[in-house]
Structure 1
Amino acid sequence: MSTSTDAVASSNSPARQRLLEAATDLFYSEGIHSVGVDRIIEAAGVTRATMYKQFEGKEGLVLEYLRGEDSQLRGLFAQAAGASDDPDVLLELVIEGIAADIRDRHTRGCPFINAAAEYPDEGPVRALIGDHREWFRATLQHLAEAAGLVEPTEVAASLVLLRDAALVGGYLDGEDRVAPAFARTARGVIASHRP
């Protein structure tokens, strides 16, 4: 019989971490559907039984990969909130963080947009992507409201759109060209909504 202690130990196991790291690298660099389970198992150096014990299949691994991406972005927001509680400063930190992400981490587009292209139908993957996007949009709207910006819903929608475009554009046109254009345009959106 499995206990909650077993579940925690399993979620923190070195084999699980290796599988998740291998899947994250491969899914992001090559695409989810083009990478087979055998390739992930080989890269992680685990057995097939270990893979299925940890994730109950490829979709479970895909979901965990996307949860990791979501968690990473939420962590950046939490880190920014720890640095300042001034909404104007937080908006600037968000802009700088997204520009840095375009340059340094997500150089092959947005992992959520990439995954959505591979999972066009409703299901757990699309639900997770939708939840992530709603959180991101709501968080930006809250920051815009706290900064006293006019039409904070529109500000948030514009910033989400700009991030989407910048992550795709960074992959197509180069991070050095797109990251500064994103930051400049995002600052313009914010400035145009000041009272």
Structure 2
Amino acid sequence: MYIPAHFNESRPEQLHKLIAQHPLGILVANGKNGLSANHLPFMLHPKEGPQGVLHCHVARNNPVWQDLENGDEVMVVFRAGDAYISPQWFPSKLETHKQVPSWNYIVAHAYGRVTIRDDERYVRGAVARLTRIHEASQPVPWKMTDGPKDYIDAMLKAIVGIEIEITRLIGKTKLSQNKEPRDREAAATALNHQGDSFIGNAMQAALAETLATLLPK
């Protein structure tokens, strides 16, 4: 991924936060049968390994787990959000006409070594933890014991676990940091006005961070 310096996000805690809040990642692999991409919900254990470990599972019928060997390198792409940026939003465009359309987004790429975990204990534990995380906000959280034992056992046999030890973690936070503050503020306001508040709020937070660095110490 091309990352100009002003869009670089290298803080591990911020990248871990992005993954935790937006856990549906794209597992990109180049296995025995070539390139593949699978959209999967991941769990990040940030304190496992030097940079964290990702856990997920796939359907047993999904060929990806047989296409990979333990130790193969894979990449997982996580996207927090994105939005189109119109040049019409920039006050400087009205003065110079030197602005063009662009696209803002926040992403993280996790590179790592894969381990296939085709064992019932691992899969059961991973599914139970994933369920607890995502059911926590429900009025009556679903749990694995809600289903008949033979049914749950059959469902678990139909999936295979995948563990990825992260070896490199990079991020790109493209929020118009290369523009003037007034242009950044105006674009953020326009996004919020049209309902793209995730990127709009992120732009305002990034602008506030930039302005804080300019204050006298």
Using CA pairs under 8 Å that are at least 6 residues apart, name the structure with larger relative contact order, 1 or 2. Answer: 2
TM-score (norm 1): 0.29
Structure ID, larger Rg: 2
TM-score (norm 2): 0.26
Decide which structure has greater helix share: 1
